[in-house]
Amino acid sequence: MPNERILFVTGRLAEQALRRVLETLSREAGFDYDVSVLGISVAALMHVDWVRRKLHIESRFDRVILPGWCHGELHPLVEEFGLPFERGPKMLHDLPCHFGRRNLPGEMSDDYDIEILAEINHAPQMTDREVLRLANRFSADGADVIDLGSIPGERWARAGEVTRMLRDEGHRVSIDSFDRFEVEAAVADGAELVLSCNSHNVEWAAGLDTELVVIPDETGAPESLHESIEVLHGAGSVFRVDPVLEPIGFGFAASLKRYFDVRDQWPEVEILMGVGNLTELTEVDTAGVNVVLAALCQELGIRSVLTTEVINWARSAVREFDLARRLVRHSIGRHVLPKHLDGRLVMLRDRRVTEFSHRELKDLASNLSDPNFRVFLAAGKIHLMNRDGYWCGTDPFELFDRITEDSDVPTPAHAFYLGHELCKAATALTLGKQYSQDEALSWGLLTDSRRESSAHRAIERRSR
């Protein structure tokens, strides 16, 4: 089949940069192209009505891509030329992403081999509806097994019933308890894994027809693992070993060493790591912690982790580890750095920030002839401009005061819109994020584009 033919529309200032990007991108994404340079310096000044008058298409194309800054509804162009029209990204550097080439020059595979157990803490205190809601969310976020966390010292009479409820909804279930009644009831109703056993309960746990997680009798005393493992081997039990990851300040480094020791002593044994002792008990954003722990698990052959989302800063831990396990498997399996593969775990700051140059902003400001505000970030400041002036600064409140002195903000809707954009710009300036007017800030895997309706189009609709 012939390659798709695409016409790219731009202004004079961006022509050469666009052609440089397309020279490589067209080969990578497999399309043919041409560039139509309209008689305007800055593409951000384009409006659909103006494009309709100035654009001439003399060859066959499958679609036309306009600059992301082009204003107005696109359907008049579709009717005029009989071709699909679309806006590209506002920043030229993001054009590869528009074609699904976010991962250039390498593509991250979607494979993983680390299983995620997501624990529902204090499950006995929850209603069935609450348990099911959490289980469904954890599963949607990437959890493979739902772990029911019991309350030590309190017998949970409904452990079996809740296990069966989750099983009937299609979830795999584990039970986190040392209580024999709870464990046996959950196993009878479909729990496939028991957390945990040691010398105190290994004799009866070894008789269960399910997989077990064996832990030391006391943290820092791994020698007790040997005795429990011998009992389980003698009973023919299936089990995993968890040497127990300790929090920072309570033997963290020594506990890491125990995972290496277990792998050396039992090269073929399955190992589980409870990562919540680090993500829940360290007051820091958890994405980076999850990547490092996932890398350790991948290199040591630890094929299951137990995680939790109890404290607020760990509220996306399951989603983070789900992406982290794919990232580290790709990196380690292909011996490449875990960089420029998938940026969704960069949430606070962005992977890169691109800005208009001082010359581009000056050219744009000098050519504006309408009252619509354009908002940019450049050189550590917020830049606003319309036909009435060009303002820049770092304080959005001060900027708004200056704007209202020099220019008209005609309606409450426009004032709200401008305040919304200034708020986004100030946030981006503080955190070092990419800002593009009328577009949501990127928060990595936490970005919810559904919440960001186009404020600009809403203003246009109210203005008609």
Interval 69-81 mean pLDDT: 91
What does the alpha-carbon distance between residue 381 and residue 392 come to, in Å, rounded to a whole number?
6
As given in the structure block, the two tokens for residue 239 are 């089990």
Contact by Cβ (8 Å): 436, 91: yes
Residue for token pair 């490449």 = 336
Task: Read off the pLDDT of each residue in 50-57 and give the average, rounded to a whole number.
Answer: 93
Q: Are 242 and 281 in contact (CB under 8 A)?
A: no
pLDDT tier at 464, thresholds 50, 70, 90: very low
105 pLDDT exceeds 50?
no
- Read off the DSSP letter of residue 31: E
pLDDT digits 0-9 by tens, 262-299: 999 999 999 999 999 999 999 999 999 999 999 999 99
Q: What are the pLDDT digits (tens) for 16-46?
A: 889 988 998 998 889 999 999 998 877 777 8
The alpha-carbon radius of gyration of the chain (Å, integer) is: 29
One-letter amino acid of 252: F
Phi (first) and psi of residue 449, to 5 degrees: -65, -20
Q: Which domains does the chain have, with CATH numbers?
A: 4-98 (3.40.50), 115-334 (3.20.20.20), 358-463 (no CATH)
Query: In whole angstroms, what is the distance from residue 272 CA to residue 114 CA?
Result: 10
Alpha carbon distance 239, 80 (integer Å) = 68
Q: How many CB atoms lie within 10 A of CB 271?
A: 20
Virtual torsion, Cα 121, 127, 128, 133, nearest 10 deg: -60
**pLDDT beyond 80 at 160:** yes
Strand ranges in 135-278 using DSSP code E only, listed in sequence order: 145-149, 173-176, 193-197, 211-214, 239-241, 270-274
Average pLDDT value for the chain: 90
Higher pLDDT, 8 or 370: 8
More confident residue, 240 or 363: 240
Q: How far apart are CA 318 and CA 309, in angstroms?
A: 8
Per-residue pLDDT reduced to its tens digit, 137-150:
999 999 999 999 99
* Model pLDDT, residue 101: 62
416: amino acid identity, one letter: F
Contact 47, 17 (CB under 8 A): no
Closest Cα to residue 119, out of 140, 107, 134, 133? 134
**Does the pLDDT value for residue 107 go beyond 70?**
no
Euclidean distance between CA atoms 240 and 143, whole angstroms: 18
Tokens of 377: 């970030």
Whats the size of the chain, residue-wise?
464
Tell me if residue 385 falls in helix, strand or coil.
strand
